[in-house]
Structure 1
Amino acid sequence: MQELVGRLTAVDAEATETLKVIAYFDALIHGHATTEVLLRGAAILSGCAAGQTVSGKTMRVDASGVRAAAPPGVWPSRSFEDGGVVWIERSGPAHANDEMILERLAIAAGIAHERTSPAAASRRALETLIDDQASAEARSDAAKRLHLDPHTRYRIIATTDAAPTTSAGRMPSVVVGTAHGPVRAVLADETSTWRHAGIGIRCTPPSMPESWASALIALRLTPARESIIDAADLGTLLPLAIEADASALGMPDVAALSDLVATHPGAEVLLDAITATDSLRAAGVETGLHHSTVQARAEQYSDALGFDIRSPRGRVRLALALAVHRLATSRFD
């Protein structure tokens, strides 16, 4: 970094100062600097007061780097994890490196918060608890940090919602990067309501990776007409879905369905309604289509798929093909 700064000095003074800001905060992060030290650095670099609010606590240092009470006002700011916000109190036109100072301060403040806050400790514990690559000892320690009884069965929720807050406070949750995009894992609370979620099977703490895996499968199987699926209600479909998810074998029904959905917008909604209702007339009521339209499309779709989706056996094939198709195409980015 120092060599790069030296090379840029003679070319672009502003770029040089920007790199110095980055290097400065990187050094503070590497040194595990406290929040006060980070704010003091931002204040000195910017020449104006800097502050932070997170978890209901506010800290501010003035332009000379001394802690002081925060005055009212709206300042240039950046947010970070757990609703945290940092700001610098620039009252006039922004200076050249204000944006970079704020950006690096927010990153550093988020890292410092992650290292020290109880909420962050709960996130790390939950992430370990649902990780099937973690050792049994590590998962046991994580369960203790979350105050879980080793003989009680719990559930993990996989959701694209924000973590809810109950009367007992915010539930432990962590956003997990999956092959299908970021998904929030939440230690279940039966009283919570969800807009879009997969509910995992009940497991004791040592087996919580199984609850997470089943919750993620359930979330990925959630169709447009249904916002929540409980993995316990999937029955035989759950192990079949897990096996299909891990299999690289080609499935003709799924390939035909994918081609049909790609060429007929709205087909998936009607096909799902056909599997979920007891007649084509009922599927028409659910989708808002006339009965004759549903009959015509059911015949057209049967021809395209190569089997009669109106027969009992055809509905089973269609339901399985839809499930595997959703597993292959679900994204939560």
Structure 2
Amino acid sequence: MEALAVRLSGLNPYVDGALRIVAFYDTLIHRRVNVSALVRASAGLAECVAGIRLHGTGRAIRVAPDGEPAPAASSPASTTTPITLDEEEIGTAWLERPGAPNALDGILLDRLAIAAATAVERYGPARTTMADPALVELVISSDSDEAARARALRLLGFTAHSPVHVVAVHARLPLDRIAALICPARPVKSAPLADVGAVLATTVDRTGFPDGVRAGIGSGGSPDRSWQRARTALRFTTARRPVVHHDDLGALALLAQVSRATTHDNADVAAVARIAGNSEDLETLDAYCATGSLRRAADLLHLHHSSVARRLKQIAKVLDIELTEPRGLMRAALALTAWRLHDG
């Protein structure tokens, strides 16, 4: 191959220059340089300002020939070319050469675009946790084909084989702050969707969620399935249990598939709905179902156990369930959970 290159370079100075450019960018790709380094190297090679803008970030990188950030553009780009990945345009590369373009500028930009697409696929376009909601929706939608989902994941910075957990979040805090706390080791991306925030992360630290956040964590695997499970887990969250992993629900997750009409027709659920009008009774029942113990429920409620016993006796009458029996406790817990899923 080298011998062929030498013979070709001797035919024409243009061919010699083109081959040198190709070899230059092949070396950069082999060294796995990132996008910023590519722009810096290109500006030095072209001896003029070089720039790249990726659609995933919207931020332009412009570098002068000396390797420093270029000042504000005083003239339009002299030559431009799209950056494509898997036949999708993901950005633009350009040169800002004063006067007429160089004969080799087109080749230089073509190779820069190829190297930039390789770097984006390897490292992702940004180091921020916020992402384009359209890309996130493409990843988690059940209607997306696998090729489109894979492209979107690459554009978001996830490698082909990295596990992706999806988290559904209800919070007043900024999503990017939450994402950084639960996955301090990137990559992690987040975006607000119609009614809930979505976070995509390679790992999720359950202890990292700040106070005031409700979150459902989906299992790994297909992102669309993980998103569905994260939304289901979010429905099971409570003030006492603000973060729920779908894997921890087990058979309880089946309750989420029961319709509202079917739930309302159940006598136990209807009885819980009546209790819900009294916040103290509802809190007492919740604490007792969560602990299965009168004394532990009293500790949670910061009450004397005799006070809790009196409340539970009245609640048992409304429910028409013997709460001191294991079967009765199970009925009450299921009814409370079913009521919460639709009305809580």
**TM score, norm. by length of structure 1:** 0.56
Q: Partner residue of 1:64? A: none
Seen in structure 2, the aligned counterparts of structure 1 residues 260 and 159 have a Cα distance that, compared at 3 Å, is same
Over 3 Å counting, the alpha-carbon distance change for 1:140 and 1:284 in structure 2 is same
User: C-alpha separation between the residues in 2 aligned to 1:144 and 1:219?
Assistant: 27
Structure 1 residue 154 corresponds to structure 2 residue 164: yes
Amino acid at match of 1:186: V
Distance in 1 between residues matched to 2:306 and 2:321, nearest whole Å: 20
Give the secondary-structure state (helix, strand or coil) at the position aligned to 1:235: helix
1:254 matched to 2:264: no
1:160–1:197 Cα contact (<8 Å) kept: yes
Where does 1:138-287 land on structure 2 (aligned, <5 Å)?
A: 138-161=148-171, 162-163=174-175, 164=177, 165=180, 171-177=188-194, 182-188=195-201, 189-191=203-205, 193-195=208-210, 196-204=213-221, 207-238=222-253, 240-244=254-258, 246=259, 248-249=261-262, 250-262=265-277, 264-287=278-301
Structure 2 CA distance for partners of 1:203 and 1:308, relative to 1, 3 Å: same
For the residues of structure 2 that align with 1:150 and 1:324, how far apart are their CA atoms?
39
Q: Deviations over 1:23-80 (max 9, x none)?
A: xxxxxxxxxxxxxxxxxxxxxxxxxxxxxxx9999xxxxxxxxx9xxxxxxxxxxxxx
Shift of 1:169: 6.4
SS at match of 2:199: strand
Once the 2 structures are TM-superposed, how far is the Cα of residue 170 of structure 1 from its aligned partner? Answer: 8.1
Q: Which runs of 5+ in 1 are unaligned?
A: 1-53, 58-66, 68-116
2:290 counterpart of 1:290: no
Q: Which residue of 2 aligns with 1:75?
A: none
Secondary structure, counterpart of 2:250 in structure 1? coil
- Structure 2 counterpart SS, 1:307: coil
Distance 2:266 2:58 in 1: 50
Q: Indicate if the aligned counterparts of 2:292 and 2:329 stay in contact, CA closer than 8 A.
A: no
Question: Structure 1 residues 134 and 309, CA, compared in 2 at 3 Å: closer, same or farther?
Answer: farther
| Alpha-carbon displacement from aligned partner over 1:157-216 (angstroms, at most 9, x marks no partner) | 111233223655683112222xxxx21110134247113233423232xx2222112212
1:298 positional shift: 0.8
- Distance, in Å, in 2 between the alignment partners of 1:325 and 1:303 is 18
Structure 1 residue matching 2:198: 3-state secondary structure: strand
Contact 1:260 1:304 in 2 (8 A): yes
Native 8 Å contact 1:158 1:184 kept in 2: yes
Q: How far apart are 1:319 and its partner, in Å?
A: 1.5
Structure 2 Cα separation of the partners of residues 242 and 150 of structure 1: 32
- Residue identity matched to 1:160: H
Deviation at 1:121, TM superposition (A): 5.5
1:318 to 323, 328, 332: 332
Distance in 2, Cα, partners of 1:144 & 1:55 = 16
TM-score (norm 2): 0.54
Structure 1 position 329, deviation (Å): 2.5
Structure 1 position 274, deviation (Å): 0.6
**Secondary structure, aligned partner of 1:236:** helix
Is 1:124 paired with 2:137? no
Give the C-alpha shift of residue 227 in structure 1. Answer: 2.1
| Contact 2:260 2:342 (C-alpha < 8 Å) held by counterparts | no
One-letter identity of the residue aligned with 1:128: L
Alpha-carbon deviation of 1:154? 2.1
CA displacement at 1:138 relative to structure 2: 3.1
Deviation track 1:75-94 (CA, whole Å, cap 9, x = no partner) reads xxxxxxxxxxxxxxxxxxxx
Q: Look up the SS of the partner of 1:185 in the other structure.
A: strand
Q: How does 1:11-50 map to 2 (within 5 A)?
A: none
Q: Equivalent residue of 2:197, what SS?
A: strand
CA RMSD of aligned residues (A): 3.0
Identical counterparts, % of pairs: 30
Q: How big is the shift at 1:146?
A: 2.5
